[in-house]
Each structure stands twice: as structure tokens, then as C-alpha cells.
Amino acid sequence: MKKVFTRPRSLKDIPTHYCPGCTHGIVHRLVAEVIDELEIFDRTIGVAPVGCSVFAYNYFDCDMFQASHGRAPAVATGIKRVLPDRVVFTYQGDGDLAAIGTGEIVHAAARGEKFTVIFINNAIYAMTGGQMAPTTLLGQKTTTTPYGRDKDINGYPVKISEMLSVLDGTAYVARVSVHDPAHVIKARKAIKRAFEVQLAGLGFSLVEVLSACPTNWGLSPAEALKWLAENMIPYYPLGEYKKPAEVG
């Protein structure tokens, strides 16, 4: 009989440090499943960021790097230029990628670096205690926007997928969500495509995943998924923003 819930080979069998209801774990699993399915485990190298997912280097069983805050795309560039036949991915939060690391992500994308970026947008700096992220929604209260995010003080949320998809160097850009099973399946498809684009040598690929942080949003896991669907998706529309003709 076929076993339905086996642990992907690419994930280690250890408990994670993520909070109950955190969707980082789901995304780890999707990435690991795709690596297994594409049979690239042995030649995949991952780059973990600074953020709640910093210990991703312990959870993925492939070779891993830990990068300084925001610099994962530069580290991945170095790896991929030395080892062009390997599969390289970064896994980054929104503070990491869209604030301190904006320079690195924009230029890696513009150069068309042939690696894959998994971008976790949870509208918050989770690791450091719930401060405003570049993706924090207008009016959203965080520990550094105690009166709610105000456009006149903090400007507007950054839409990474839209921004990067206009660069000629990007080959595949999609925004997905993991707030319910149907969306998880779509997210998995997008992640698989991103890796396929890398394998085909077509250029830079990025999947933005809308993700829940019940702890720093101050919500229960169920409320957090609902909040994501009702507040984040309208501002951050889901879909494939760019895809090469080669993929269906």
C-alpha cells in the first residue's frame, strides 16, 4: 500500500522550533517534496537567512549555508557561479529580502542569476519580536508601529513579486499562499516550476509565499489563517506574475 504521509528525504526527522500554527513548516515541507520529486537532493545547496527560518539549515538535509541578514542572494550568486551545475535556493523572510537585502535581491534578479528564491511574506519581523516589516499592511499594529502603520511616516507596503517581475533578468515569479489545502497544492506547483526553471537554465526564479505568524500577529492559528486570507491576499494578489514560454 502506498504511504501518504511520509517525510520527504530532504527534510531531517527532527522537531522544528516553529510556533504552533506557523506556516514556515509547511513551506519547508513543500520545498523538500519538490527537491525529492525532481531527484535533485544530492546536488542541491540551500542558503538560510537571518529570521525565524534561520535554523532551516538544520531542517533541510541537503548542504546548507547560513548567510548574514539580507545577503543570501549574494551568497547564492557566489555558490552558483562556482558550481553552475548544482541546484541552489535561498529561503528568505520579508525583512531579510525586502528591507535590508533589497539591494542583493534586485541585483541578483537583474543579473538573471540561475537560482531559486523562496520568499516568506508574513508582514512582520517575527524573529526579533514583531516589528514592522516592509510588507506590513497599512494600519497594521506592530511593536514599532504602535499606532498602526501610517503611510505618511512609513510609506507603503513593498510588493516584491510585482517589482521583480518587470526586470528582464527574472524568468519565473509567482505569489502563492498556504492558508488552506487548496492553496497549499497551488503553492507546491509554483515551487516546482521555479526549480524547473532553474534546472532548464532559464534564469532567476522566485516564489513569494504569503505566510502566517500567529505569535506576532497576536492571533490563534485559525484566526491567523483567516486574517491572511482576508487582509493580505487583497493587497498581495496571488498568481504567476511571470513565466517563460517553455513552461506550460
Query: Which stretches of the chain bind ligand SF4, using CB under 6 A?
Result: 18-19, 22, 24, 52, 122, 126, 213-216
Among 37, 38, 63, 102, binds another protein (CB under 8 A): 102
Q: Which does 215 bind (CB under 5 to 8 A by kind): ligand SF4, Mg ion, ligand TPP, none?
A: ligand SF4
Nearer to ligand SF4 (CB atom), residue 120 or residue 173:
120
Nearer to ligand TPP (CB atom), residue 60 or residue 202:
60
Q: Minimal distance in Å, beta carbon 61 to ligand SF4? A: 20
Binding flag, residue 93, Mg ion (CB under 5 A): yes
Binding flag, residue 94, Mg ion (CB under 5 A): yes
Q: Minimal distance in Å, beta carbon 53 to ligand TPP? A: 5
- Displacement of CA 186 from its chain's centroid (Å): 14
Binding flag, residue 127, another protein (CB under 8 A): yes
Listed ranges 34-42, 130-138, 230-238, 240-248: which one lies at the site for another protein (CB under 8 A): 130-138
Q: Minimal distance in Å, beta carbon 66 to another protein? A: 7
Q: Which string of DSSP letters, residue by residue, matches the chain?
A: ---SSPPPTTB-SS---PPTT-SHHHHHHHHHHHHHHTT-GGGEEEEE-SSGGGGHHHHB-SEEEE--TT-HHHHHHHHHHH-TTSEEEEEEEHHIIIIITHHHHHHHHHTT-S-EEEEEE-SSBTTTTSB--TTPPTT--BTTBTT---HHHH-----HHHHHHTSTTEEEEEEEE-SSHHHHHHHHHHHHHHHHHHHTT--EEEEEEE---HHHHT--HHHHHHHIIIIIHHHS--EEEE--TT--
Q: Which does 128 bind (CB under 5 to 8 A by kind): ligand TPP, ligand SF4, Mg ion, none?
A: ligand TPP
Q: For residue 8, which amino acid is it? A: P
Q: Which does 31 bind (CB under 5 to 8 A by kind): ligand TPP, Mg ion, ligand SF4, none?
A: none
The number of residues that bind another protein (CB under 8 A) is 30
Binding flag, residue 91, another protein (CB under 8 A): no
